[in-house]
């Protein structure tokens, strides 16, 4: 599904990382959320490509999709 993201129990405690690196997806997404630009990340991490950063965002977006499972019947709010 994600060619540029890997999960390996031997690398960074099994957290999702940019393939071929020890750079965790959450670090890239967090830096973007804190105002860093893609261009700044590419300067700070020369091993990354723009497509790696976009893959991190795509991976995070897939995790954020909500799946609602009701455990109990909903009560009538009336």
All structural domains of the chain, each given as residue ranges with its CATH number in brackets, are: 5-64 (1.10.10.10)
Q: Quickly state the pLDDT bin for 78 (edges 50, 70, 90).
A: low
Distance CA 23, CA 35 (A): 18
Query: What CA–CA distances, in Å, run from 44 to 38, 51, 68?
Result: 10, 15, 38
pLDDT, tens digit (0-9, with 9 covering 90-100), for 3-12: 999 999 999 9
The mean per-residue pLDDT over the stretch 28-39 comes to 98
Specify the length of the chain in residues: 78
């Amino acid at each position: 599904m994600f060619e540029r993201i890997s999960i390996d129990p031997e690398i960074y405690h099994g957290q999702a990382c940019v393939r071929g690196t020890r750079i965790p997806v959450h670090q890239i997404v967090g830096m973007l959320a804190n105002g860093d630009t893609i261009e700044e990340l590419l300067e700070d991490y020369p091993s990354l490509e723009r497509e790696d950063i976009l893959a991190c965002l795509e991976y995070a977006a897939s995790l954020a999709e909500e799946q609602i499972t009701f455990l109990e019947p909903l009560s009538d709010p009336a």
